[in-house]
Amino acid sequence: MAYISKEETAAIRKELKAAFPDFKFSVRIQTLSAVNVTIKKSPVDFSNYLGDRSSANVSEYLHKNMTDEQIDIFRKIFNIIKTAPAKVSGSEWYDNSDAMTDYIDTAYYYYLSVQA
């Protein structure tokens, strides 16, 4: 069953602050099974990704309209989201889901978004 604790979420927040000191993040739990990470402020310009929207979700399957710098930042953030909780709980993120049999088994869900 997907679950993420407050301590694990705090570990994500702490590592993001250490890795990206000039960024401002919102890291919060959603229904105890998911963590939402939002980039609220950044020295990096995300306007090409946002277009005329005020916020946009970021997929782990990165899009072609991103710059190399944006892709590198997003990959590092996704890596922190997956690895930081293990330093607190010892449990690593996993995904044993099988779409062919409609079987869902993951450590927790995660979402990343960017705000203008």
For residue range 27-61, list pLDDT tens digits in order. Answer: 999 888 999 999 999 999 999 888 889 999 999 88
Instruction: Let me know: does 85 contact 93? Beta carbons within 8 Å.
Output: yes
Tokens 């990704």, residue located: 49
Does 48 fall in a domain?
yes
Give the integer Cα–Cα distance in Å for 89 and 102.
28
User: Which residues on adjacent β-strands are paired with residue 98?
Assistant: 103
Q: Is the pLDDT of residue 14 over 80?
A: yes
Q: Is the pLDDT of residue 64 over 80?
A: no
- Return the pLDDT at 110: 96
Does 1 fall in a domain?
no
Give the integer Cα–Cα distance in Å for 62 and 21.
23
Return left, alpha or beta for 51; rule: phi > 0 is left, psi -120 to 50 is alpha, else beta.
left
Does 29 fall in a domain?
yes
Work out the percent of the chain whose per-residue pLDDT is above 70: 99
Does 62 fall in a domain?
yes
Give the integer Cα–Cα distance in Å for 23 and 61.
22
Work out the percent of the chain whose per-residue pLDDT is above 90: 75
Where in the sequence is the domain holding 78, given as residue range(s)? Answer: 6-115
User: What is the domain count for the chain?
Assistant: 1
Segments of the chain assigned E as strands: 24-30, 34-41, 55-58, 109-115
